[in-house]
Structure 1
Amino acid sequence: MPDPVQLDVLGPRGAFRSVTRRRVDDVAGSSIAELSLAPQVFVSRALSALRQASVPPAAERIAMLAQAGHLFATSTLCGLSPAEYQWLTCRASGVPITAVRRATHWIQTCAEQVERAVTDACPRGAADNAARPGSELGNRRLTWVRRGDVLAVGAAGNHPAVQSQWLEAVALGYRVAVRPSPQEPFTPHRLVAALRTAGFGADQVNLLPTDSEGVDALIRGADLAVVYGADLAGRYATDRTVATHGAGRSKVLFAGADWRDHLDMVVHSVAHDGGTTCVNATTVLVDGDPGPLAEALAARLAELPSLPPQDDRAVLPVRSAASARVIEQYLLRHGQSARIRLGGEGVVDELGDGSAVLRPAVLQVDRAGTADIGVELPFPCVWVAPWSRADGPEPLRDTLVLTVVTDDEELIDRLVTEPSIGNVHIGSHPTCAMEAGIPPDGYLADFLMRDKVVLR
């Protein structure tokens, strides 16, 4: 067994290996890394250094981000090759290695195309004016400016690709401090190292692993913060300086359309990347009897193999056997009133080394409004329910991505204008279909920036 990989704090004066470290285990319970933890006083001093740092010009930042994306995907960083990084990430998170490889290239693409994201997010008036001298505009000029200087990121650990989102902040001139998830610290550590190797100063982007008290100090000490996961999202839900990202609760709706023509799309929406992301569908609603759809979906998902995450054929997530049992019991408690089409005898398939595959579950309920439909779990777990036009958009609210298959333009208009639905995919487009530069949860710049009128 090789020695655990050392993941140092990446502070304003360079790498720092602390006395206090957190063990990072793989899905079988073996130690694969040690994550140095930054003391609270270190976090405070790091934030002060970030606040005082100078900001490279915009064009220089964009070029360095593109270089960082290339380095992230292709180079050895902090002693880890891309293949070694991907192996460690899949073993720690349980996300299939093919999904980790896709995420690697996704992060590279997002870094290379970050200029598109921030340009598209910029208000047209400010973008037009920024390209021309103020003297040509008379006395009034609209300017797009940062709401602060330092951004704290409470990073997610469910899927590596989510780390691409905070790159927008770097492009906009924020100094960024990232607190990695203790479950999967490899991706943010590698990304911060890539940014520094590409030319960003140690006082411009930091990796600050901390305990729970350190997280609060980090968020309180920054100007703005972005946090992921139910715990942090709930803790800071009412703080207007914190952008929270919790469950996605993405859905598929068939309204007057035959689902049989789109079963592949539904399977992809539910199971892509092991069902581990916020854009995977957790609810499918059908105009009519949901039974045949639930049965067909269960039959397709039951065919997926149980394999360790580093296997190239793996498509399902893996956890420690103990963790998987906790998730299984949670599911079975919430599914007591449902007809369980798949997973009724459990979803845990132990691999014999202390780890277990989380196999798919399909649960059919009698009505779309049941509270259990909102339950979202980190594997392919989907609730199938009936829907009618009389139900309207109510069962579809609080949805990150909604795929709707229908010819009803009036319904489409209602869904597009519903404030609590983040994105609408019209037609046979999976909920997890994404394009670099077009984020599924809105531009981070909407939170980071503001318009300011300047009068001369």
Structure 2
Amino acid sequence: MSVLDIPALGPAGPYRTRKRTTVTDASGVPSLELTSVPALVVSHWIGRLRTSEALSVAETAAVLGKAADAFANEEIAGDDLAAHERRVSELTGTPLPVVRECDRLITAVLRDAGRMPSAARPTGCAPWGGEAAALSAPGAAWCRVGDVFAVHAAGNSPGVHAMWPEALVLGYRVVVRPSQRDPLTPFRLVTALRRAGLPDDRLVFAPCDHTTADLIVERSDRAVVYGGQGVVDKYANRADVRAQGPGRSKLVVAADADRDTGLALARTGALYHAGTACTATTGVLVEDNAPGFAAELAAVLDQVVPVRPTDESALLPCLPVAEAERLVAALRERAEGAVVHLEPRAEPLEGPGSLAALTPAVVELASAKDPLLSYEMPFPCVWVAPFERDAPEVLDDSLVLSLHTGRRDLVADALDLAGVRNVYRSRPTSWSHPDVPHDGYLGEFLMRAKGLAHTDDLRSDT
């Protein structure tokens, strides 16, 4: 494929600078030239966003529905959707079936734009927008806590871009700072939204360096930032920043549950989005014979065949050979002293460039209290440990906790753990549903309830 020229998209249209970043694909071959927007320009853009006229809720929802059609059916940057998905797969090393799944999610969210905001709104609040002003009785309105929402996107999965369009429905103006690993998905989405009628000064696409990215957070009213534990620690005390860090998602296979089903749940969760998603299974706690379960899971995952990411059967992430070998070495170093049932490999693949698939790993730990149980790697890597019912604290700090058991008391105990955000029973940690929040509702972060009463509500005794 040809090298693409990807501009920024500012409040006055496409914007190009002399400062460009050459982005290579997963095999090290140059794939695109990406504009890098300077801090002064981005600061000006945010000022423009603040003064832009708001669309009504109905108008925004209609635009998002049209954008779904543009995203799915039109050529953008010279690519139809199939060509775009292949290019993203080659660029990121993400399996092509995963890219397709994420793009279907994006279009589904655009077509059902009001679902998550409506689910997040407290039942005591009138709908957002002009409807609240018409309340005839004392009550509450659901209102924005700011005007500009910044997104520091991740590059591990195109699916992260299914989240932020909700902010447009809630009346926010949005700044998307893409990951260099995948700027193509947000570029296609922002372009589709603009073609559908969203004014340019409601949404901008701002590739930039890390210093300018920090400025975007400071100039915005709310921000979501993706990254590792370092990012979580950096923004730990910031109420205006939502840090999306490691998921540390876990599966518990209790003694009363069917073991074969438990293995199937572990396999599905481990391989979800090539093991790179925050909801992919990282730790598995087994109540009955954890060593045996680890050996069985290793045998199942060892059957996965490494192929290039654009292969229809691809399940594994692909990286430049040197980077893949570095990750394998890091896993070996971490797992020293543990029982490695399945050792990962950096499997070189035929074709252009220097590309390797990272095969799965399964490591048995002596105790669930071992911190490695929550250690994430950017490929399918599962840590298996024994589970003890009287030590529920080992389940804490999990984006998703799936309990394969018939015991409802165990589920109830899990719901009481403050650090567990989603609790499933006998489902993969990767399971999702439009009505189930990912990590709480975004609306909880972007909105708040305001008391509202009109003068006709006043009585002489108050």
Q: Place the TM-score, normalised by the shorter chain, in its bin.
A: over 0.9
User: Which piece of structure 1 moves more, 407-416 or 274-283?
Assistant: 407-416
What's 2:459 paired with?
Answer: none
**Take 2:422 and 2:69, find their aligned partners in 1: how far apart are those partners?**
29
Deviation of residue 261 (structure 1)?
3.3
Query: Is 1:224 the equivalent of 2:192?
Result: no
Query: Is 1:450 the equivalent of 2:448?
Result: yes
Give unmatched runs, 5+ long, in structure 2: 455-462
**Take 1:279 and 1:335, find their aligned partners in 2: how far apart are those partners?**
22
Q: Normalization by structure 1: what TM-score?
A: 0.95
Count of aligned positions: 449
What's 2:36 paired with?
Answer: 37
What's 2:64 paired with?
Answer: 65
What's 2:252 paired with?
Answer: 253
**Take 1:128 and 1:156, find their aligned partners in 2: how far apart are those partners?**
31
What's 2:458 paired with?
Answer: none
What's 2:368 paired with?
Answer: 368
Deviation of residue 127 (structure 1)?
3.4
Report SS of the residue matched to 1:114. coil
Could you tell me which amino acid in structure 2 is paired with residue 105 of structure 1? R
* Contact 1:254–1:405 (Cα < 8 Å) also in 2: yes
**Take 1:234 and 1:95, find their aligned partners in 2: how far apart are those partners?**
28
What's 2:149 paired with?
Answer: 151
**Take 2:444 and 2:164, find their aligned partners in 1: how far apart are those partners?**
12
**Take 2:142 and 2:95, find their aligned partners in 1: how far apart are those partners?**
41
Could you tell me which amino acid in structure 2 is paired with residue 366 of structure 1? A
**Take 2:200 and 2:278, find their aligned partners in 1: how far apart are those partners?**
32
What's 1:163 paired with?
Answer: 161
**Take 1:329 and 1:378, find their aligned partners in 2: how far apart are those partners?**
13
* Contact 1:363–1:382 (Cα < 8 Å) also in 2: yes
Identity %: 35
Offset from partner CA, 1:167-198 (integer Å, 9 cap, x none): 11111010000000011111111111111111
Query: Is 1:118 the equivalent of 2:117?
Result: yes
What's 1:177 paired with?
Answer: 175
Report SS of the residue matched to 1:326. helix
Offset from partner CA, 1:372-393 (integer Å, 9 cap, x none): 11110111100000011122x2
Could you tell me which amino acid in structure 1 is paired with residue 153 of structure 2? A
**Take 2:435 and 2:371, find their aligned partners in 1: how far apart are those partners?**
34
Distance change (3 Å), C-alpha of 1:6 and 1:133: closer
* Contact 1:288–1:388 (Cα < 8 Å) also in 2: no
C-alpha RMSD over aligned residues: 1.5
Could you tell me which amino acid in structure 2 is paired with residue 341 of structure 1? H
**Take 1:136 and 1:152, find their aligned partners in 2: how far apart are those partners?**
35
User: What aligned pairs does 1:57-456 form with structure 2 within 5 A after superposition?
Assistant: 57-127=56-126, 134=134, 136-137=136-137, 140-230=138-228, 231-256=230-255, 257-343=257-343, 346-352=344-350, 353-391=353-391, 393-427=392-426, 429-456=427-454
Deviation of residue 240 (structure 1)?
1.3
* Contact 2:121–2:127 (Cα < 8 Å) also in 1: no
Deviation of residue 262 (structure 1)?
3.0
**Take 1:209 and 1:132, find their aligned partners in 2: how far apart are those partners?**
37
**Take 2:176 and 2:379, find their aligned partners in 1: how far apart are those partners?**
26
Deviation of residue 350 (structure 1)?
1.3
Could you tell me which amino acid in structure 1 is paired with residue 272 of structure 2? H
User: Which piece of structure 1 moves more, 322-331 or 22-31?
Assistant: 322-331
Deviation of residue 326 (structure 1)?
2.0
Offset from partner CA, 1:405-431 (integer Å, 9 cap, x none): 11222221110121111111112x111
Could you tell me which amino acid in structure 2 is paired with residue 430 of structure 1? P
Report SS of the residue matched to 1:214. helix
**Take 2:168 and 2:91, find their aligned partners in 1: how far apart are those partners?**
27
**Take 2:450 and 2:58, find their aligned partners in 1: how far apart are those partners?**
22
Deviation of residue 225 (structure 1)?
0.6
Report SS of the residue matched to 1:265. helix
* Contact 2:126–2:132 (Cα < 8 Å) also in 1: no
Offset from partner CA, 1:275-323 (integer Å, 9 cap, x none): 1211110111011220111111111111101111011111111011121
**Take 2:451 and 2:261, find their aligned partners in 1: how far apart are those partners?**
52
**Take 2:95 and 2:163, find their aligned partners in 1: how far apart are those partners?**
21
Deviation of residue 437 (structure 1)?
4.6
Report SS of the residue matched to 1:203. helix
**Take 1:204 and 1:184, find their aligned partners in 2: how far apart are those partners?**
22
**Take 1:394 and 1:337, find their aligned partners in 2: how far apart are those partners?**
24
* Contact 2:132–2:141 (Cα < 8 Å) also in 1: no
Distance change (3 Å), C-alpha of 1:349 and 1:263: same
Offset from partner CA, 1:41-67 (integer Å, 9 cap, x none): 111011001111011000111111122
Offset from partner CA, 1:327-384 (integer Å, 9 cap, x none): 11221111112100001xx421111541110100000011100011111011110000
